[in-house]
Amino acid sequence: MDDQNPLEQELFASDAVRRLQALQRLIEAERPQDAPRRQYGVNLHCHTIYSYNGYGHSPASLAWLAHREGWYALGTVDFDVLDAVDETLSACQIASLRGCAGLETRAFYHKGADIEFNSPGEPGVIYYVGVGFTSSQPPEAARATLEEMRRRAAERNRDMVERINGYLDPVIIDYARDVLPLTPSGNATERHILIAYDIAARRLFPERRDLVSFWAKKLEMPHEAVEQFLGDAPFPHDAIRSRLMKRGGVGYVQPGA
């Protein structure tokens, strides 16, 4: 991000108003000869910082990316919340993109408990997407449902952290202190939890040799394999996620159990 101009950096600011203002100024400052030719690129399943985006993209920064790439349409879906809807629709309007926004969630279908749908290795689990929302503020009839979805997601995360803490001790984290500050609106995901554990492990084991040994022992992996995926900065490593949080891992609880 260091080689970006200041306005592009503002697309990653902590405040949505600042991000949208920066996007507006970028669009206005663009010379006609530099404007990308509109093509047929479409991505209607973009996650944002309101759940987790590996590149730190906000809806505004995604809209700028889509504009520069000549996309026709952009859609965002974040886990269990509608927090990104307002910013997404405003950003798409500013960037002259067709846009939509919504959410994604996990559901368990009891009548299909033995059927593998779209979550590999998790029979009965369905990733379900809803789009077409026009506001981040749900109507009264839907508010209780969305609040319950957010509550259940947080409860699942806290239970997972408690189980993983018991296994990774002495590397332990506090959900409120270490995980929630990594999110813009308190909607944490497994990847935020992974980053928090990575930070905690690096703090306890500042020497790389000791850090690698810790993860190799806990993940039951060769030191060489850990060396290969463990970078120099905290990251939500899939290797750690699959061993701790997915089916068979210490933090995993079978849905519907």
- The string of pLDDT tens digits covering residues 101-154 is 999 999 899 999 999 999 888 899 999 999 999 999 998 999 999 999 999 999
- Segments in 54-124 forming alpha helices (H): 59-69, 85-94
pLDDT of residue 99: 97
Q: Which of the pair, 39 or 190, is modelled with greater confidence?
A: 190
Tokens of 69: 């790439």
pLDDT of residue 52: 95
CA torsion sign for 22, 24, 28, 30 is positive
Given a contact cutoff of 8 angstroms between Cβ atoms, the answer to whether 162 and 172 are in contact is no
pLDDT of residue 254: 75
Instruction: pLDDT band for 2, please (50, 70, 90 cuts).
Output: low
**Cα distance between residue 59 and residue 177, in whole Å:** 26
> Is residue 1's pLDDT more than 60?
no
Instruction: pLDDT band for 255, please (50, 70, 90 cuts).
Output: confident
Given a contact cutoff of 8 angstroms between Cβ atoms, the answer to whether 235 and 192 are in contact is no
pLDDT of residue 3: 65
Mean pLDDT over each residue of the chain, to the nearest integer? 93
pTM (2 decimals)? 0.89
Q: What is the mean pLDDT of residues 75-87?
A: 97
* 214-249 residue pLDDT tens: 999 999 999 999 999 999 999 999 999 999 998 888
**Cα distance between residue 63 and residue 97, in whole Å:** 8
* 166-177 residue pLDDT tens: 999 999 999 999
